[in-house]
Chain A
Amino acid sequence: MSFYAVFWREMVTLKRTFFKFFASRLVSPLLYLIAFGWGLGRGIKMDGGNYMEYVVPGIIALSAMSTSFNAVGTSLNISRLYNKTLEEYLIAPVTTQAFVLGKALSGVARGLIASLIILGLAFIFGAHLILNGWFFLVIILTCFLFSTLGIIAAMTINSHEDMGNFNTFIILPMSFLCGTFFSPNQLPDTVAFFIEILPLTHASLCLREIARNGNILPISLGVLVVYTLALYAGAVLVMQRVRD
């Protein structure tokens, strides 16, 4: 149960800064919904439905990714390089598996809250979405895998500036290209092939299919599960190598 101690610490700080977190998570999706839902998307039909209902699952996937990655990655990178608070965990009898699990679950918690905020906004904006257990399972997997990616980045990148660069070169392109605002099929074949390998694409596709028809896409779910397991294993491995 030592993962819970790691998770508990994150929840204490989340509780303390909840209103700031809530407000900051409100801004981007609100702007996306206004710009792509009301503005550019007004009158656009995507796959026979209105654009707002097309874009909301993508925005949820994107927000789950960025919230969980940044919440875990940025704070862990600061903890390792600047505050040195990571040492408190390294000298404690906590396994690396438990540490990674606790951190990743904290990313899931934040990502879920961010996703719920978007769902709330989407309903206010008049979107009609089917929500079921699969929908939330996909959000949880997305948050978990990007939290563990955040751990890998935080443990291998040696400056806060380079963490920003990782965001610019990896996270930001995924935000726009992975089926968030338009279908990757509209891209040239080679680009589309590359985009379809990425996890955010499958998160967007899965959430969109569930929101529209209530059905899960088994292959996309499988891809997300494989990414989750692989990145969890990768995060455990880099944590085990943190000692100099």
Chain B
Amino acid sequence: MVIQINKLTKKYGDLTAVDNLDLHIQKKEVFALLGPNGAGKTTTIRMLTMLTIPTGGKALINAQDVTSNKVKKEIGVVPQHMNLDLELTAWENLELHGRLHRMPRDKLKARINELLTFVEINSRAFELVSNFSGGMKRRLMIARALMHYPSILFLDEPTTGLDPQTRRKIWDLIRRLNATGLTVLLTTHYIEEAQILCHRVGIMDKGRLIALGTPQELMKKVGEVVVEFFGGTGTSYKFFASRQQALEYVSHFRGDFLIREVSLEDVFVEITGRKVGD
């Protein structure tokens, strides 16, 4: 077990941002916390990376409490917001990270070259980061998080605000990193991202973990096929175990409807009664 979270809680006054979260993440797993804005995903990551102090509960990373300084060497963090140092070049951003982690000088240069090549920024290594596009900045943030050879990578909304092409580039990077043995915990509100990238998904809403499993397991829980009915009062959904059952059900229905396979978004709607973006 790489990450063990037991009854982790964070309260801000009367607001409970994360409520008794229990979660175990395995080595080499790509795990997504999925949920709408304000679900508690970012607060969870901030607690695991000690940017936020939990109100209650406990979290262990590689069997060590997250408050331990040793944990900092095990984790790489890519926050949701762009927090590269805009007054430094790409190279200097990585060098600063390496120096903060006390990497030996001889290894530092080789590692920076390796990572800049990996994220395809080596041709612009000595340019100020302020000149970079959003996608380049995000790739550099991933490279920075990997500088000190962490075993776990935290990615908070890694593709928010990026165009579809850049998003796919980031997905490819995450897949390649996982193939090298890296454990990845990411948060997202993009259903497709969780479905494509992740071995398991945890759905959060209002600070609580309300569903957990592989995307296939979660989708099977609600059914194989969904029928969307478009009426004057809005769209309603009905789930079926097979396409045959769905076809039989709609055979006497007069009105507009759509039959399609169940997605993770349907799971979310079925569990919470609302869409992920709501």
A47 at the interface (CB under 8 A from B): no
Q: Whole-angstrom distance between the alpha carbons of A8 and B50 in the complex?
A: 25
Question: Please, which residue of chain A has its CB at the minimum distance from the CB of B43?
Answer: A244
Closest chain B CB from A152 CB (angstroms): 20
Q: How far is the CA of A215 from the CA of B121 in the complex (A)?
A: 57
The verdict on A94 contacting B88 (CB below 8 Å), with A85-B83, A87-B79, A87-B83 known, is no
Given A4-B99, A5-B100: A13 and B88 interface contact (C-beta under 8 Å): yes
Inter-chain contact B69/A90, CB cutoff 8 Å: no
Q: How far is the CA of A195 from the CA of B69 in the complex (A)?
A: 43
Complex Cα–Cα for A90 and B100 (A): 10
How far is the CB of A116 from the nearest CB of chain B, in Å?
Answer: 24
Rounded to whole angstroms, the CA-CA distance of A171 and B235 in the bound complex is 62
A2 to B97, CA, bound (A): 11
**Contact residues in B for A84 (Cβ distance below 8 Å):** 79, 81, 83
Q: Which of A4, A9, A94 has the most CB of B within 10 A?
A: A9
Distance in Å from the Cβ of B8 to the closest Cβ of chain A?
15
Interface residues in A1-60 by Cβ distance below 8 A to B read 1-2, 4-6, 8-9, 12-13, 16
A85 in complex: contacting residue of B12, B51, B73, B84, CB < 8 Å: B84
Contact flags A72-115 to B (C-beta < 8 A → 1, else 0): 00000000000111011111111000000000000000000000
Known interface pairs A9-B85, A85-B84, A91-B72. Does A2 touch B50 (Cβ–Cβ under 8 Å)? no
Q: Which of B53, B69, B99 contacts A5 (CB 8 A)?
A: B99
* Residue pair B69, A93 in contact (C-beta under 8 Å): yes
Known pairs A9-B85, A12-B92, A85-B84; A94 contacts B100 (CB<8 A): yes
Q: Are A88 and B51 in contact (CB under 8 A)?
A: no
Asked if B52 CB lies within 8 Å of chain A CBs, one says: yes
Interface residues of B in 68-103 (CB under 8 A from A): 69, 72-73, 75, 77, 79, 81, 83-88, 92, 96-97, 99-102
How far in angstroms is the closest Cβ of chain B from A16? 7
- Whether A93 touches B100, Cβ cut-off 8 Å, given contacts A13-B88, A87-B51, A244-B52, is yes
* Interface of A: prevailing SS: helix
What's the minimum C-beta distance from A3 to chain B, rounded to whole angstroms? 10
Q: Which residues of A contact B87 (CB under 8 A)?
A: 13, 16
How many A-B residue contacts, CB cutoff 8 Å? Answer: 68
- The A-contacting residues of B in range 199-217, CB under 8 angstroms, are none
B49 within 8 A of A: yes
Bound-state Cα–Cα, A161 to B83, Å:
22
Assess the A88–B50 pair: CB atoms within 8 A. no
Q: How far is the CB of B144 from chain A (nearest CB, A)?
A: 8
Q: Which residue of A lies closest to B102 (CB)?
A: A2
Of the candidates A8, A16, A89, A93, the one having the most CB atoms from chain B within 10 angstroms of its own CB is: A93
Chain A residues, Cβ within 8 Å of B96: 5, 8-9, 88
For A1, what are the chain B residues with a Cβ–Cβ distance below 8 Å? 102
Q: Are B102 and A93 within 8 A (Cβ)?
A: yes
| Cβ contacts under 8 Å, B97 to chain A | 88, 92
Max chain A Cβ within 10 angstroms of own Cβ: one of B49, B53, B85, B86? B85
**A9 pairs with B88, CB closer than 8 A:** yes
Q: Least Cβ distance of A29 to chain B in Å?
A: 26
Q: Give bound CA distance, A197 to B81, whole Å.
A: 44
A243 proximity list for chain B (CB < 8 A): 50-53
Given known A91-B49, A244-B52, contact A85–B79 (CB-CB < 8 A): no
Q: Is the CB of A93 within 8 A of B53?
A: no
Chain A: which residue is nearest B86 at the CB level? A83
Contact yes or no, A2 B83, CB < 8 A: no
Which residue of chain A lies nearest to B12 when distances are taken between CB atoms in the complex? A244
How far, in whole Å, are A6 and B97 apart by their CA atoms in the complex? 10
Are the C-beta atoms of A91 and B52 separated by less than 8 Å?
Answer: no
In contact, A8 and B99 (Cβ under 8 angstroms)? yes
- The reply to whether B50 and A83 form a contact with Cβ atoms under 8 Å apart is no
* Chain B residues whose CB sits within 8 angstroms of the CB of A244 once the complex forms: 12, 51-53
Check B85–A85 contact: CB distance below 8 A.
Answer: yes
Taking A91-B50, A92-B97 as given, write out 16 further A-B residue pairs in contact, using a Cβ cutoff of 8 Å, ordered by the A residue number.
Answer: A1-B102, A2-B102, A4-B99, A9-B88, A83-B85, A84-B79, A87-B77, A88-B83, A88-B85, A88-B97, A91-B77, A93-B69, A243-B50, A243-B52, A244-B12, A244-B53
The 5 closest A-B pairs by CB, nearest first: A5-B99, A92-B100, A84-B83, A93-B72, A5-B100
6 contacts between A and B (CB under 8 A): A2-B100, A5-B100, A87-B51, A88-B96, A91-B49, A91-B77
